[in-house]
Amino acid sequence: MLIYIINLFVVVLAAFLAKKSKSIFVSRLLLGIAFASMILVAGLRNRIVGTDTGYYVRDFNGIRTFADAFDSGNNGGEYGFWILQWFVHLVSNEYLFFLLAIALIVVGCYQRIIITFSANIVISFFIFIAMYYTFFFNAARQGIACAIFALAIGPLLDGNFKKYVGYVLLAFLFHSSAIVMLPTFFIVNRTSTFKNSLIIVLVGCVMFFFADKIIEFAATYQPRYAIYGEKSMGGGYLSVGFSLANFIFLYAFKKSVSIERTRYDCFLNMLLLDILIGLGATFMGTDPSGLLRISYYLGFVNMLIWAIVFKNLTTPLSKFVIGYFFVLVHFTYFILATDRFSNLVPYEFNPFIILR
């Protein structure tokens, strides 16, 4: 657990010093240190760290040629992920380099989004590490897809549908669930009013009314999507409960937002969809490794919307009080989620590193 806390500290401290630095070179150097920390923690881990890491390593060991990658794509789709594995084999057959490649893509996408769109990179990096960073330790394919889709936030805010579709289709090459993000473009980029929020809720209710049929259709294309509709003991209550409380606060706070209000509304609408997916999956009692994971395509905007919150706080007292609870709640979530979910603890280094 300690290595995750150290990584959080290094990344946030580097982001803070980069934000304060008046030197572009020093700022970029510090952001490079943050980037390297996130890459190394993810890439140097043992295959037992992360519930599904071992399965991805097994698949990686079975892809040695481009023909292997292409055949796997023909059998299961998502050509991007299989071609990535073949490409890594051109460098090395050690899975260490495969995990590093995944981390480079995922962290690179999110860091670009933070640097480009965040009103406060310190807040954004803190939320990224606390809530989203370790998702791809377990769900590598979907983790890459979510990271690539995050790049679509620019075209979404600009109203550029063609570029938005391009990012969605690129994400689709790594995880076909990304295709469900296409209609999001027409749903979230509007003012966050009661009427528009109600429309989003109604759209969400209609989708869940037909959820079984949608999942059944998806399973005909990819049999593994059948898990999205399978009933289980449920789960994900911590993340869904946290997301709900988070959304309630942000929705109530919107009346205080005057700076970057258009972006705030768009992000808030995305989080409304995010919580609807979470509540729907919980209500349906589905496996948390299924439908609930779709919410990761949307929830990343927490990194950006909270930065806007702090930009709109006008008094030292409000900054202190909200900042105190913000850090306390997110750090607590970080500790609980890291300790309990996805076999992230205990962390072990790749034996390839230790033996060398």
Give domain status of residue 217, yes or no: yes
pLDDT in the model for residue 113: 96
| 25 burial type by CB count under 10 A (0-12 exposed, 13-18 middle, 19+ buried) | exposed
Q: How far apart are CA 143 and CA 229, in angstroms?
A: 20
Give domain status of residue 126, yes or no: yes
Q: How far apart are CA 133 and CA 150, in angstroms?
A: 13
Average pLDDT across the chain, whole number: 86
Find tokens 């509304």 and name the residue. 265
Q: How far apart are CA 351 and CA 333, in angstroms?
A: 30
Question: Is a pLDDT exceeding 70 seen at residue 139?
Answer: yes
Report the Cα–Cα distance between both ends of the chain, in Å, rounded. Answer: 24
What global pTM score does this model have?
Answer: 0.90
Model pLDDT for residues 160-185, shown as the tens digit of each residue: 999 999 999 999 999 888 888 898 89
Question: Is a pLDDT exceeding 60 seen at residue 226?
Answer: no
User: Helix (H, G, I), strand (E, B), or coil: what is residue 286?
Assistant: strand
Give domain status of residue 350, yes or no: no
pLDDT in the model for residue 220: 53
Give domain status of residue 352, yes or no: no
Q: How far apart are CA 192 and CA 77, in angstroms?
A: 37
What is the count of structural domains for the chain?
1
Give domain status of residue 356, yes or no: no
Q: How far apart are CA 282 and CA 287, in angstroms?
A: 9
234 sits in the region (left: phi over 0; alpha: psi -120 to 50; else beta) called: left
Question: Is a pLDDT exceeding 80 seen at residue 34?
Answer: yes
pLDDT in the model for residue 222: 58
DSSP code for 192 = -
Residues 6+ apart with CB under 8 A from 135: 142, 143, 146, 296
Average pLDDT over residues 121-143: 93
Question: Could you tell me which residue, 278 or 142, shows the higher pLDDT?
Answer: 142
- The confidence band for 197, taking pLDDT boundaries of 50, 70 and 90, is confident
- The confidence band for 156, taking pLDDT boundaries of 50, 70 and 90, is very high
DSSP code for 173 = T
Average pLDDT over residues 191-200: 82
Model pLDDT for residues 67-126, shown as the tens digit of each residue: 888 787 777 778 899 999 999 999 988 999 999 999 999 999 999 999 999 999 999 999
Give domain status of residue 249, yes or no: yes
Average pLDDT over residues 259-263: 92
The residues that bridge with 231 in the sheet, in sequence order, are 286
- The confidence band for 290, taking pLDDT boundaries of 50, 70 and 90, is low
Question: Could you tell me which residue, 212 or 78, shows the higher pLDDT?
Answer: 78
Q: Are 63 and 82 in contact (CB under 8 A)?
A: yes
Question: Is a pLDDT exceeding 80 seen at residue 30?
Answer: yes
Q: Check whether the bond before 183 is cis (ω within 30° of 0).
A: no
- The confidence band for 203, taking pLDDT boundaries of 50, 70 and 90, is confident
Residues spanned by the domain of 57: 2-342
Residues 6+ apart with CB under 8 A from 245: none
Give domain status of residue 347, yes or no: no
Q: Are 61 and 47 in contact (CB under 8 A)?
A: no
